[in-house]
Amino acid sequence: DLAKNLVIKKRAKKGILKALNIADGTETVVLMEEILERNKGKDFFVPEESLCFDTAREVLESIRQIRTGKGTKEYENADDKKVFQIKTVITEYESTLQEKDLYDDVRLYQEALEELESEGTKNGKDSYEIWEECFESLSFLERSFLEKMTSGNYEKVSLFASDKQVLEESLKGATF
C-alpha cells in the first residue's frame, strides 16, 4: 500500500486525479497474449502454434523477472536476435500499460521508487523489522523500494524466532 500511495501522490502532483488502475493477473496475461498474437509469424521466439493463455503467462513471468532486475538464465544465454525480440515485447508491454493507464506490480514499484528518489532520503530514526522469510521472496525491485523507504533502517528477523520470543514472553511468570 505504501508504493500505491506514493504513486497516487506522484500522479496528483502531475494533476492526474483519477483512480489508480491496478491490473490483475488475468488482465496482464491477456495483454501479453495480445502482444504475442500481434507478433506471430515474424520468426518470433514463441512459435505460433504455442500461442495460448498459458504461454502468455509464462512469457509474462519471464519478462517480469527481467523487468525487476532478476533476469533469467534463458535471457542471459539468449542470442542477440532473441534478446532484441524480448526487449521489443517488454517495450510493447510497458507502452500498453501506459496507454491504458494500467499498473502491474513492476510499474507500481518503479514509479514509487522514482517518487521516493525525487523526495530525497529521509534520515528518520525509526527502525523497521521485516520477516526474513518474507524478505527472501522479495524481488530486486521490492528490495530496492524497502531500502529506499526505510533509508536502510530495517532488520531481518526470523518469523519463527519472533513467534518463539513472543511465546516465551507470554509464558513468563505463568503458573500451571
Higher pLDDT, 97 or 6: 97
Q: ∠ CA(53), CA(34), CA(71), 5° rounding?
A: 75
Higher pLDDT, 107 or 122: 107
With a CB cutoff of 8 Å and minimum separation 6, the contacts of 145 are 3, 109, 112, 113, 116
Write out pLDDT tens, residues 143-175. 788 788 777 777 776 756 555 555 456 556 554
Confidence of residue 176 (pLDDT cuts 50, 70, 90): very low
Q: Output the pLDDT for position 173.
A: 57
As a whole-number percent, the residues of the chain with pLDDT over 70 amount to 76
Q: Output the pLDDT for position 106.
A: 93
DSSP summary character for residue 154: E
Question: What pTM was estimated for this model as a whole?
Answer: 0.72
As a whole-number percent, the residues of the chain with pLDDT over 90 amount to 26
Higher pLDDT, 155 or 6: 6
Q: ∠ CA(18), CA(23), CA(28), 5° rounding?
A: 140
Q: Are 3 and 145 in contact (CB under 8 A)?
A: yes
Q: Output the pLDDT for position 74.
A: 66
Confidence of residue 135 (pLDDT cuts 50, 70, 90): confident
Confidence of residue 142 (pLDDT cuts 50, 70, 90): confident
- CA dist 30 and 176 (Å) reads 59
The length of the chain, given as a count of residues: 176
